[in-house]
Structure formats: C-alpha cells, structure tokens
C-alpha cells in the first residue's frame, strides 16, 4: 500500500487499483471542527483535479479535489452522522471516498510523505 499527497492537502492511499481519499491531519487542523461533509455519488467519474467533495467546518467550507482520475466506488457513509471523524481520525475512520484508478500513472505525479512534509513546515 502506498500513500501519496496533493499540494491541496488530500491524501491518496493506493491498494492495487483502488485509491482511498481523505484530507491530511494538517488540513483538518487548519479547518477546525468539521460539521458537515458532502461526498460524491458512487459511480461518479472524476478527472484529476475535479471537485469531488466539500468539507464544512466552523471556520469555512473547503473543496476536496480528486487527486487522480477514476470512478467512485464507495463513500464513507459514517461521515453523514459523524463528520467529526475527519478531525479525530482523518487517515483512518475519517476517509472520504474510494475510487478505481483509471490512470495509475497519475499517482507518480503526487507528493511522497517527505515532499508533503516540506509543504507544511
């Protein structure tokens, strides 16, 4: 399993041809308490950079972009009732959606952990 990051603070955890998308711990700290998450519909086809979801916090609303192209296969329905999971556990229980990668080579253009860490210094 590989985890990559975008400059917009999304993560993509790749396992085979499936990618799990969420926001990084840094992003959730910047947003503050998350009160609502709007997720994409299962079956939606996304291109890299498309708006995929929206996170609303007590501070602001923020778009979540698709880190790679693919088709949404699953959404984290637990977030509808408990959006705070994004704050308490952004990289595990607070994941947002899963997609089947349509162009796995796009993963190579994302940041690795060291590259992402340099952005958040």
For 11-41, give one letter per residue: b (16+ CB within 10 A) or e.
bbbbeeeebbbbbbbebbeebeebeebbbbe
Express each pLDDT in 22-35 by its tens digit. 999 999 999 999 99
Q: Answer yes or no: are the C-beta atoms of 71 and 43 closer than 8 Å.
A: yes
What is the predicted pLDDT for the residue at 88? 96
Global confidence as pTM: 0.95
All domains of the chain, ordered by start, with CATH?
2-102 (2.40.50.100)
Express each pLDDT in 25-74 by its tens digit. 999 999 999 999 999 999 999 999 999 999 999 988 999 999 999 999 99
Residue 65 φ/ψ, nearest 5 degrees: -105, 150
* Overall average pLDDT of the 8-24 stretch: 97
SS (H, E, C) 69-118: CEEEEEECCHHHHCCCHHHHCCCCCCCCEEEEECCHHHHHHCECHHHHHH
Tokens linked to 95: 């994941």
Residue 1 pLDDT class (50, 70, 90 cuts): confident
């Amino acid at each position: 399993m590989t985890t990559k990051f975008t400059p917009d603070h999304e993560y993509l955890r790749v396992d085979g041809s499936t990618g799990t998308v969420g926001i990084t711990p840094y992003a959730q700290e910047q947003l503050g308490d998350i009160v609502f998450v709007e997720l994409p519909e299962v079956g939606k086809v996304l291109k890299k950079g498309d708006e995929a979801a929206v996170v609303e916090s007590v501070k602001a609303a923020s778009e979540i972009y698709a880190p790679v192209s693919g088709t949404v296969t699953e959404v984290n329905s637990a977030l509808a009732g408990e959006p705070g999971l994004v704050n308490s556990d952004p990289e595990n229980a607070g994941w947002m959606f899963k997609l089947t990668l349509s162009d796995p080579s796009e993963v190579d253009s994302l940041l690795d952990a060291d590259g992402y860490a340099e952005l958040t210094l």
